[in-house]
Amino acid sequence: MGGETPSAAHEQRSEHDRGSTLLEIVISIVLLGTIVASLVTAVLTMVRASSTVYEAARVETVLLNAGDQVDRSRQQCNYDTVVQAAALAEGWPAEQITVSVEVLQANTGDESADWAPQDCGTTLEPFDVQRLTISATHPTQAITRTLMVVKSDVN
């Protein structure tokens, strides 16, 4: 400040240090808000996707366990208790998994004519071929998957 008067130094400082206007502050807040809002949206989307993938993995685990239980069990007319064990092992209600059983009647290539629903009144023969359709639904009812298994006692 050598030979300057106090008022000249004050004028020089005010030219360089004017501060921010209200408009500049509002624009900064709006820009920061936009960035934060987009980040929050992205994080929520990732959390939802992760949750959906986790639920689908649990459903597929139940289905694979049910398929394994069916494969290890003897051939029978009704597999409800076998597949329900897979749901119960996951901590789900037994109603979350269902199974339908069909028997191969012919092998013509016409799927609607070849397979018929299993009649539990008839005796299963050792060479009967069964097709089981196992469906599992996540307890939230959001995801359902189906697995088809062909079973016979033919070695």
Residue 32: inside a domain, yes or no? yes
Give pLDDT tens digits for 111-128.
778 898 888 877 777 778
Q: Is residue 11 part of a domain?
A: no
148 part of a folded domain: yes
Whether the per-residue pLDDT at 140 is higher than 70: the answer is yes
Distance from C-alpha of 35 to C-alpha of 13, rounded to nearest angstrom: 35
First to last CA, the chain: 104
Inter-CA distances, 103 with 146, 147, 151, Å:
18, 16, 10
Q: Examine residue 14 and state whether it is found in any structural domain, yes or no.
A: no
| Residue 115 within a domain | yes
pTM of the complete model: 0.69
Query: Would 100 be classed as within a structural domain?
Result: yes
The candidate with the shortest Cα–Cα distance to 103, out of 83, 81, 123, is 123
Look at residue 84 in the predicted model and tell me its pLDDT: 94
Q: Is residue 56 part of a domain?
A: yes
DSSP notation for 51-62: HHHHHHHHHHHH
Residue 2 has pLDDT above 60, yes or no: no
Q: What's the domain range around 85?
A: 22-153
Domain count, the chain: 1
In residues, how long is the chain? Answer: 155
- 40-72: per-residue pLDDT in tens? 999 999 999 998 999 999 999 999 999 999 988
pLDDT(23) > 60? yes
What pLDDT, on a 0 to 100 scale, did the predictor assign at position 66? 93
> Is 49 a domain residue?
yes
SS3 content of the chain, % helix, strand, coil (to 5): 50, 15, 30
